Each structure stands twice: as structure tokens, then as C-alpha cells.
Amino acid sequence: MASYFLCYAHESEISKPFEKIHAHQSFEAHVHMGWQSRYFSEGRDALNGKSLGTGALEFGYDHFSGGVWYGRSSNHQYDEWQYNLALTQEIDGFEIYAGYTHLVFAKDRESDDEWSVGMTYEGLPFDLTTSLEACHSMDAKGTFYEWSNIREFHPKDDLDISLSGTFGWNEGYVSDGHNGLNFFSLGSGITKILTESISLTGHGIGSWAIDQNSNLAGDQSLKDFFHFGLSVEFDF
């Protein structure tokens, strides 16, 4: 059975583009297709209220994982590709990973390369899992940090529920936004297993801006808002 290292930079814990599959010397892969009411990124409504359709292929073998993710806005004015590779290792109750992502913004004819490192620990009271991650953009020459805490519930064998809270901190990653604490979010997620290979997932997240500066272009989309999403996942 694969375990999933969910930490991925600048995304709330339950709506990551990629899952880092730690498959323990077996090959695991899945495809998912979904829809999000808004594109939530670094605490910002990145598409100014437009929704986002997504699709991804993710795979893992032993300590290695990777994937391809694609997102397109509802008005077809924005699309984004992400190509990801990561290495995951478990040490004394901690799960640590390092990853590389190449991003392509086809309509803008632009691209970026990001390096990320993260750490997750599950041995907290009340069955909490905590994670800390940093993502560095080579284009912006800045880093965005996220600290998340998540609690999972398993009321049935075919039903998983999660609650999470996340703080985001900018240090030049959003180059035209303010540095320091940027947002706090609270979210919930649910996964319903339909068959051995098909599951449905949904999430809802409320995000609150911290120290938003309306005089900075990068803070214009940093606001208080709610968003949600649905997806179907196929394992093979």
C-alpha cells in the first residue's frame, strides 16, 4: 500500500497538484481529473475568480516519485503545465522530501523552475500531522514557506475525512508582494472510495489575507475568500 507525502509548495494541504507517492519498492500510479472554483496559490485568487480544470498523472517507486499536472482556466485565457520529480525518505518518524518542478505557461510563453524541500511528522498529540515546506523560484529568486497541520479521520473503510490549517510566508517568491506572513487558511477534505481503483474527492478551503498591501501589485489578489473543488481519481 502506498503512502502519500502531501506537502507541495504554495498549495493548501488538501488541494495539492502533486502527491509524493512513497511506494516501498512497488510501482504505484494514478490519474486524476478535477475542477476548482478558484486557483488558490500563495493565499491569492490567482485567476481573479475564474475556475480551473485540472488533470494529472502521478507515479512512485520506492523513494522516487514524479508527475505531470495541467491546469486550464474556465475562460481558456490561462493554462499551466507542471513537471515534477521528488525523492522521499523516512528518518526516525519524520518524512523528508526534496523536489524539482518545471512550470510552463504556454499562453504567456514563459516558464519557471522551482526547487522545494519539505518535512512531515506524524507523532503529535491528538493524531495531528505537521508539515513544513519551502519552495524556491529560480525566476523570482525568492522562496515561499508553508506550515500546515492536518487531522485525518477514517469513519469507514471507504471514507476518509481531513481538517487542516496552513500559514503561508513570502520571502520574494511573490516578487511584487509584501514579505512576511501572507495568509492563513482552514480547510476540509473528503475522499470516498468507490472501487479498488476509483475514488472521488472534494475539498473546501477558507483563506484569510495577512498584512495585505493594496499599493503592491502582487497583493491585489491576496484577499479573504472561499474556494472548493471536486475530482475523480483512477489508481493502477
CATH number of domain containing 121: 2.40.160.40
CA-based nearest residue to 31, from 54, 57, 6, 53: 57
CA-based nearest residue to 160, from 233, 87, 227, 70: 233
For residue 202, the enclosing domain spans 3-235
- Calpha distance 6→16 (Å, rounded): 7
pLDDT value at residue 13: 41
In degrees, to the nearest 5, what angle opens at C-alpha 56 toward C-alphas 51 and 59?
155
The pTM score is: 0.89
- Calpha distance 148→132 (Å, rounded): 6
pLDDT value at residue 179: 98
pLDDT value at residue 119: 94
Q: How many domains does the chain have?
A: 1
Contacts 24+ apart (CB under 8 A), 221-226: 221/44, 221/45, 221/46, 221/48, 222/42, 222/43, 222/44, 222/177, 222/182, 222/183, 223/44, 223/45, 225/38, 225/45
188, 163 contact by CB (below 8 A): yes
- Calpha distance 172→182 (Å, rounded): 12
pLDDT value at residue 92: 86
pLDDT digit of tens for each residue in the chain (236 aa)? Answer: 333 333 333 444 445 555 555 545 678 899 999 999 999 999 999 999 999 999 999 999 888 999 999 999 999 999 999 999 999 998 888 999 999 999 999 888 899 999 999 999 998 999 999 999 999 999 999 999 999 999 999 999 999 999 999 999 999 999 999 999 999 999 999 999 999 999 999 999 999 999 999 999 999 999 999 999 999 999 98
